[in-house]
Amino acid sequence: MTRRFEDVLTKEQKGSPYEFKQMLTTEGWRARRRSRKRFRLLKAVDPRLIRILQPGERVHFLTHGSPLSTTEGFFTDWAAYFLNRRALVFTNVRLLLIQINVRKHPLDLVSQIAYSAIAGVEATPKGYCRLALRDGRQLDFTYMPRADRKFLHTLLTDLVKLPCPAGAPEATGAENLCPQCFSVVKDFPRKCPECGVALKSSLVAGILSFLFPGWGNWYLGFKGFAVVELLGAAYLWLTLVLWPLFHLLLGRGVPHTRRYWILIALGLVVLHGLDAAMTRHYARKGLHARSD
């Protein structure tokens, strides 16, 4: 793919799977600015996306956002921005969800939603695009550029009505793809059944986060988010536990009652438990390849 935005607008891109005329509009300076950002996102994910696309598959549009279930929207919406940020790629066959970082560069997690798995498309009261899947789940696309929301509702409604091409995936919900060979992988095995790449365990991630918040996310590769968790947990331990114990070792006595220590112990167990549950939940958003 060409490196320059202007070349896409002025030169024919032979053999390209991208529908640039639909993805990139230049009517007005705002539309042109949004198209430039979309083009930068496409350039960032292009090396991985080209490996994922099947022969004859065409890309109609892409944007970025965080797909959340209704329950996640209430409890973990803040974490989704950091841990579940995706490039949303709409092809003629399926919706691809490629995990990206703050700089929009692709990470490990890749999943797909076949259009045959979509039971309906609607707009939420907040203006987000909501998908109702045939397995009963609902996904809201949050943290999406405002200008893309209404367009996506129309685009998805049209794509869902298209007849499924030969060889199109049949499913009732979202499916995880192997981060190495991009084949569909059921459940969460230790290795990909197709290419044999080792995969990280969501259970191990949860246990590590229970031992100390942030450790599980570091194991999964969310290192920026993990550092914030580690520092926050270290501060709580230092001020609520280690500093009073330091006073005790110096012979100054413990400046708190027994009730205080019971409440602190229960609070830390709850804190570690909630972090472990959230870490395991986001670990099961896809398949993380092990580097060893």
Determine the Cα–Cα distance for residues 50 and 59; give it in Å rounded to an integer.
Answer: 10
Question: Where does the pLDDT of residue 51 fall: very low under 50, low under 70, confident under 90, or very high at 90 and above?
Answer: very high
Q: What is the pLDDT of residues 16-43, one digit of tens each?
A: 888 888 888 777 778 888 888 888 999 9
Reduced to 3 states (helix: H, G, I; strand: E, B; else coil), residue 216 is: helix
Report if pTM > 0.75: yes
How large a percentage of the chain has pLDDT more than 70?
Answer: 86
Q: Is residue 96 scored above 90 in pLDDT?
A: yes
Instruction: Give the pLDDT confidence score for residue 90 in this predicted structure.
Output: 92
Whether the predicted pLDDT of 121 surpasses 90: no
Element (H, E) at 215: helix 215-220
- In the predicted structure, residue 227 carries a pLDDT above the cut 60: yes
DSSP 8-state secondary structure symbol assigned to residue 18? B
Residues 240-278 as b/e (b if ≥16 CB within 10 A, e otherwise) read beeebeeeeeeeeeeeeeeeeeeebeeebeeebeebbeb
- C-alpha span between 63 and 172 (Å, rounded): 23
| Alpha-carbon gap, residue 78 to 75, rounded angstroms | 8
Highest mean pLDDT among 77-86, 108-117, 254-263: 108-117
Domain at 5-177: CATH architecture = Roll (2.30)
Confidence band for 254, pLDDT divided at 50, 70 and 90: low
pLDDT of residue 168: 56
Residue 162 reports pLDDT greater than 80 = no
Q: Which residue has the higher pLDDT, 257 or 239?
A: 239
Q: What angle do CA 192, 131, 65 make, to 5 degrees?
A: 70
Q: Where along the chain do the CATH 2.30.29.30 domains lie? A: 5-177
First to last CA, the chain: 32
Mean pLDDT of the residues in the chain: 84
Q: What is the three-class DSSP state of 104?
A: coil
What pLDDT is attached to residue 12?
A: 62
Query: Rounded to an integer, what distance in angstroms lies between the CA atom of residue 129 and that of residue 10?
Result: 32
pLDDT at 109: 92
Residue with more model confidence, 232 or 124 = 232
For the record, the structure tokens of 265 come out as 């112990």
Paired tokens of 162: 């298209």
Pure H helices in 84-173: 146-161
Confidence of residue 165 (pLDDT cuts 50, 70, 90): low
* Interval 130-143 mean pLDDT: 87
Greater pLDDT, 99 or 252: 99
Neighbours of 235 (CB within 10 A): 10
**Which tens digit of pLDDT belongs to each residue from 188-224?**
999 999 999 999 999 999 999 999 999 999 999 888 8
Q: How far is CA 238 from CA 210, 211, 246, in A?
A: 17, 16, 10
pLDDT given at position 207:
96
Q: Can you list the pairs that 66-75 forms with residues at least 24 positions away whose Cβ atoms lie under 8 Å?
A: 66/141, 66/142, 66/143, 66/144, 67/97, 67/139, 67/140, 67/141, 67/142, 68/139, 68/140, 68/142, 69/137, 69/138, 69/139, 69/140, 70/138, 70/140, 73/140, 73/142
Write the CB contacts of 204 (distance below 8 Å, at least 6 apart in sequence). Answer: 216, 219
Percentage with pLDDT > 90 across the chain: 36
